[in-house]
Structure 1
């Protein structure tokens, strides 16, 4: 009888071990996969700009939208830079992403730029920079899974030009080194609107054509004044031309001089310094000199 007992015990142990090993695999098969953001589309329609967030799989469990003063990257604690006079935060819970660029510019009446924060704890956060705060509505669609945000544009816009570096022209020495693109801005602050759109940079399509925004480490502008034909631009950030013959000044000057009221452009650094603050001439801070 003794030789039989180990065989019986072994069979019992095998059965006992097999049950818990099967449970995790079964649970994995039954657990739903989290929705994955596969793309963001933005387009203008009569009276509103439409944002479409498309997901693979089911819709996100929770969608939160609200106007905020800034977007905080929860993974780093840093503020996410987004260009716009109003900032709409869109947050998805229990979702992942497979999308591309973290910051995209649009030439639309309302939506200027969309920037993504770092995904954190299955949350996706997007900042939507707008030309002006306006009413909006959010709704969901299926087949495929989509979250739609319609932002009204109840204001008139006029076209202006922004000038960006054309890398092909610059690399081959063909002047002018800049190429103009059209942007809609809200009057009467057209010069300020043009400068704001300049800092948003080129669209993805314009980047594909070789256009780039040279920031010279400027993070934005704190003030723009126009008086007696002289525009004074006060930049923020730690400016540096890095020895280049092309700087942000070469984009700002043609962008502002398109307006008949502006003949001269004086650019100041964050400390309020420029080389020629007086007289009928252009001026840049010493930090932007080659």
Structure 2
């Protein structure tokens, strides 16, 4: 069952192109485009001025209805299963009528899941391509103002998210599968991300679960989840970072696990000497020790 939206649409106009501006914490809704059967072909994002711009490009015109709402959780259209999207705030973007596949059933170039190196927008994840409705979740570093505009030639819907806050550059470690297969350590390598200055530990963990960028995926980097779909209860105190994985937890018999990503990502901070990583139930092997502690489910 879908979680009720926190906010209702603010405005619907009958003229094109349409512009709907929503202050922080409010939703934007736009129904100005004529009806049709557009096909989503691309999802891009970039930082411009003090905003992050997420662009949804279509073939065959603009969807008649474009709705953007802040939500607590995201669920897959059709199946109703929970879809986990990294971030501290979630935008649900719905296009109707629209599809992310061609009429022969083949997928378009629009990604199912893509990460971005932007101040606020972490990732865009498709949560639905079902019965003429295409839905994406956008994971954000923080909840800010949202504006929706449309462009033509080619048809595009632009979601602008406020991103005028201070950031710092920090590292996030990902698994390099080919290095592991070839036995060429290190098996986990760092990449750089922009992180909110006021919440660096949360920021790097959100970027970790957002996954590698497209170019990094092409270089062989992967998010090694070990069954986890996120994290919770993160705290940093007395030199110890303590956090709990959510979802499943299993090493799959491997000597490399998500711990190889989490530990160096958190221990890059001068305030973190030790990491206590727990399973979903809160279990870990050595919570009172002097070194790092990981859950038994990550043992080979």
TM (norm. structure 2) is: 0.83
Match of 1:22 in 2: none
Question: 1:270 aligned to 2:273?
Answer: no
Match of 1:66 in 2: 69
- Matches for 1:162-181 after TM superposition, within 5 Å: 162-181=172-191
* 1:119-149 deviation digits (Å, cap 9, x = unpaired): 1221111111111111121111112111111
Question: 1:55 aligned to 2:58?
Answer: yes
In structure 1, distance between residues paired with 2:156 and 2:38: 10
The structure with more helix, counted as a fraction of residues: 1
In structure 1, distance between residues paired with 2:151 and 2:130: 25
Question: 1:235 aligned to 2:238?
Answer: no
Match of 2:195 in 1: 185
TM (norm. structure 1) is: 0.86
**Moved beyond 3 Å, runs of 4+:** none
In structure 1, distance between residues paired with 2:109 and 2:129: 11
* 1:55-80 deviation digits (Å, cap 9, x = unpaired): 11221111111111122222111122
Which of 92, 115, 125 is equivalent to 1:89?
A: 92
* 1:69-104 deviation digits (Å, cap 9, x = unpaired): 122222111122211111111111111223343111
Match of 2:78 in 1: 75
Superposed displacement of residue 164, structure 1: 0.5
In structure 1, distance between residues paired with 2:266 and 2:208: 10
Call closer, same or farther: CA 1:146–1:166 in 2, change over 3 Å: same
Secondary structure at the residue paired with 2:215? helix
For structure 1, which segment, 52-61 or 98-107, has the greater mean C-alpha deviation from structure 2 after superposition?
A: 98-107
Question: 1:254 aligned to 2:288?
Answer: no
Root-mean-square deviation over aligned CA pairs? 1.3
Superposed displacement of residue 33, structure 1: 5.7
In structure 2, distance between residues paired with 1:285 and 1:257: 18
In structure 2, distance between residues paired with 1:138 and 1:238: 37
